[in-house]
């Protein structure tokens, strides 16, 4: 038996699912902002978070409820920034090994325990040292996450991945709302 014919693939179980589904579930929750009026990131302040929770509930005509409900229904800008950082570090890891993902989207990032992100679905990935020209026109490409020049010329480079990462950042900041139609 040739081991390469029956190569097992072992994946970590990610109970939360894709980043897209996770962000979508947060869309109707409340966001605790770690950004001050000057646009600077500030430290976590539980009292400030609780105040934001009370204000959000009053705006929606709801009773604030218990602290556990607040923690379950609130996300924070700090966590969203952390998500962006984890994806950036994962893509840097791939880039150092000359792996071009070519399908970097929120649906291709899994959320594991403790909100740790895992990049997956390397079906379109290529091992390349520079640019890559896609010759097949039969492969369905993630057009919404591709830069215009890659759509028109089918040439992919690290710049294409950076563009996709920018769209992914947009997805994260908008909690998986459609960035554009």
pLDDT (tens place) for every residue of the chain, 181 residues total: 555 566 666 678 888 889 999 998 888 777 777 777 888 888 877 788 878 878 877 777 777 666 556 666 678 888 899 999 999 998 887 766 666 666 788 888 999 988 899 888 654 445 455 554 554 555 666 677 777 877 777 777 777 778 888 889 998 998 888 756 5
| Domain containing residue 99 | 17-25+77-173
Q: Is residue 55 part of a domain?
A: no
Q: Is residue 8 part of a domain?
A: no
* Total number of domains constituting the chain: 1
Q: Is residue 124 part of a domain?
A: yes
The residues annotated as belonging to the active site are 103
Q: Is residue 104 part of a domain?
A: yes
Q: Is residue 116 part of a domain?
A: yes
User: Cβ of 21: how many Cβ atoms within 10 Å?
Assistant: 15
Tokens of 6: 């029956």
Q: Is residue 32 part of a domain?
A: no
Strands (E), 2-93: 17-18, 30-32, 74-76
Query: Do residues 15 and 113 lie in contact, with contact meaning Cβ atoms separated by under 8 Å?
Result: yes
Q: Is residue 100 part of a domain?
A: yes
Q: Is residue 42 part of a domain?
A: no
CATH of the domain at 103: 1.10.510.10
């Amino acid at each position: 038996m040739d081991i390469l014919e029956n190569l097992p693939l072992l994946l970590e179980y990610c109970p939360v699912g894709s980043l897209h589904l996770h962000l979508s579930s947060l869309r109707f929750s409340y966001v605790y902002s770690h950004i001050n009026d000057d646009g600077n990131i500030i430290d976590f302040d539980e009292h400030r978070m609780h105040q934001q929770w009370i204000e959000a509930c009053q705006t929606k005509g709801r009773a604030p409820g218990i602290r556990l409900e607040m923690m379950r229904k609130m996300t924070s800008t700090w966590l969203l920034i952390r998500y962006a950082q984890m994806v950036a570090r994962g893509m840097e890891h791939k880039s150092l090994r000359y792996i071009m993902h070519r399908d970097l989207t929120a649906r291709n990032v899994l959320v594991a325990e403790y909100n740790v992100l895992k990049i997956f679905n390397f079906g379109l990935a290529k091992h390349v040292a520079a640019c890559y020209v896609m010759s097949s026109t039969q492969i369905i490409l993630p057009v919404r996450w591709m830069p215009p020049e890659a759509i028109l010329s089918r040439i992919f480079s690290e710049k294409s991945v950076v563009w996709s990462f920018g769209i992914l950042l947009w997805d994260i900041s908008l909690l998986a709302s459609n960035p554009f139609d």
